[in-house]
Amino acid sequence: MDSDVTIVGAGVVGLAIAAALKGKVSSLFVIERHEHFGMETSSRNSEVIHSGIYYRPGSLKARLCREGRELLYGYCREKEIPHKRCGKLIVATTSGEKEVLEGILETARANEVLDGELIGKDRISELEPHIQAEYAAFFPSSGIVDVHLLMQALEHEAVRGGAEMVYRTEVTAIQPIGGGYGVTLREGDGTTFEFTTRHLVNAAGLHAEEVARMAGIGDPTYRTYFWKGEYFALLNGKHKMIERLIYPVPELHTVGLGIHTTPDMQGRQKLGPNTIWLPDKQIDYRVDPTHAKEFFEKTHRFLPFLEPDDLAPDQAGIRPKLQRPGEPSRDFIIREESDRGLPGLVNLIGIESPGLTAALGIGRLVRKMLMKDA
């Protein structure tokens, strides 16, 4: 075999898997269709380190978010990656939403997130004097991270461990062969070539469903749906009026957590994301400036200091979710496919939020799947 392990996709999850395999494999390739790591979902998000409070207890999302959060904080300290444990407030602007907050705290405890507390107006005013809320669920363990520098550190660690990064190269075909897989690649100049690998990890993000299909898996539960999320930056000095992550109470069966505030490591603040279903899977990263009205209307009730002209288009990202509009959220799919006659193939499908927080935990899980005794 030309390679022991090949990873398709150099987003934060693919890089975390590559770093986790350092010293465990004889040769490792990371194939990425873009000219640099993390140019899709990984670089177009809120950069939030989630606590792990929303997810179904016992799910991969819940377990890997909790494990990944502590691994990520430790990794950032070790590698001196800019990050901040700023804390998160989920705010109720009416007394009727207090029950929802209590339910979130109950789920958090079931997920072993034990630092959350229900607070009232006086405590809210101490933490965030400029916001409006009757009650809030406060989670000090939530935070933010510089995702670009995190990915840079993971890539560096993987390369130091012997990984070879293969950029501007796309997987076009996968053929199971004795003891592994034949993989056809197309380089940026159109040149094609083939190589063989013993293990194949599909961490292709937005394109993971396509890669799984190339390997012969047409499982309808692997179907992904694209959801666009836009962000607007806070202007006119209003970014200085908030220090923490401020979230609304989430609505039932929505695909996101609601338009919220997100500080970054440079001291800026943005609002987002909204949720726009892309039924044709057309990738479009433009931000519609007319959506500023929606952002203002959905956040003004808990950010009363905002004015409509305080918002400016910032960025947009696309998330590969496993549900359509109106459907409940589904768990990550992280699966070694031996029972389909495809040993050594690991598929990661629908890896969206909290994929960034969970990335190092996902890396360890995939390493165990591949190495068995690792």
Pairing of strands 3-8, 28-31: parallel
3-46+148-222+329-371 and 85-141+224-321 have identical folds: no
Distance CA 233, CA 269 (A): 6
User: Domain spanning 3-46+148-222+329-371 has what CATH number?
Assistant: 3.50.50.60
Class of domain 85-141+224-321: alpha beta
β-pair partners for 201: 7, 346
Confidence (pTM): 0.96
**pLDDT values of the chain reduced to their tens digit, one per residue, 374 residues:** 899 999 999 999 999 999 999 999 999 999 999 999 999 999 999 999 999 998 999 999 999 999 999 999 999 999 999 999 999 999 999 888 999 999 999 999 999 999 999 999 999 999 999 999 999 999 999 999 999 999 999 999 999 999 999 999 999 999 999 999 999 999 999 999 999 999 999 999 999 999 999 999 999 999 999 999 999 999 999 999 999 999 999 876 556 778 999 999 999 999 999 999 999 999 999 999 999 999 999 999 999 999 999 999 999 999 999 999 989 889 999 999 999 999 999 999 999 999 999 999 999 999 999 987 44
Output the CA torsion 222→228→229→235 (10° steps): 160
φ, ψ for residue 57 (rounded to 5)? -55, 135
The domain ranges of the chain are 3-46+148-222+329-371, 85-141+224-321
- Side-chain half-sphere of 183: how many Cα atoms within 13 Å? 30
